[in-house]
Amino acid sequence: MRRPPPRRLDRPAPPALAVAVRMLARRDYGRAELRERLIGRGVAEADADAALDELARRGLLSDLRYAEAVVAQKAGRYGRRAIAHALREKGVDEAAAASALASLAGRDEVAEALALWRRRYGAPPAGEREKARQVRFLLARGYSMSVALKALRAAASLPDDDSPA
């Protein structure tokens, strides 16, 4: 990631709103993450909060929109638990996170885990060690133990692609 050039001490810090708008022009941020980055760039906390309030008023900063973008990006590659954890880590407020995660309610997690497993492994585990490794992979991606085991059972019952029909 590119760092901003060092600031000369005789120059005042740029206004918080201008810095925040430049950052939002590159990608969407949640309120907490953007606040942390502004403060990290030397913006006073009060100025950062005022800039964030103004951006939210203008509709340029929205935790809900950011949470929906994170969910859309991670859905299919991660389970609901991992996505919820990522939103908490980014400081997205609970209401926005819950609303964004509601879009995952109708999805079949077992089918998603099976598709992810198929892209990664393609063949059922040969032994217990391999099965444990494949389960750990799905667990690390945020799927529950029951979903991971159901996906592996479904994978074991799938016919091989090489077998004659």
8-20 pLDDT, tens digit each? 555 555 688 999 9
Whole-number Å distance between alpha carbons of 77 and 94: 22
Confidence check: pLDDT of 112 > 70: yes
Per-residue pLDDT reduced to its tens digit, 1-49: 566 666 555 555 568 899 999 999 999 999 999 999 999 988 889 999 9
Over pLDDT 70: what percentage of the chain? 87
The residue assigned the tokens 């203008």 is 58
Sign of CA dihedral 25, 26, 30, 32: negative
User: What type of residue is 149?
Assistant: L
- d(CA 107, CA 90) in angstroms, rounded, equals 24
Beta strands of 25-93 (E only): which ranges? none
Q: Which residue has the tokens 């060092």?
A: 6
State the average pLDDT over residues 111-137: 91
Distance, CA of 66 to CA of 30 (rounded, Å) = 6
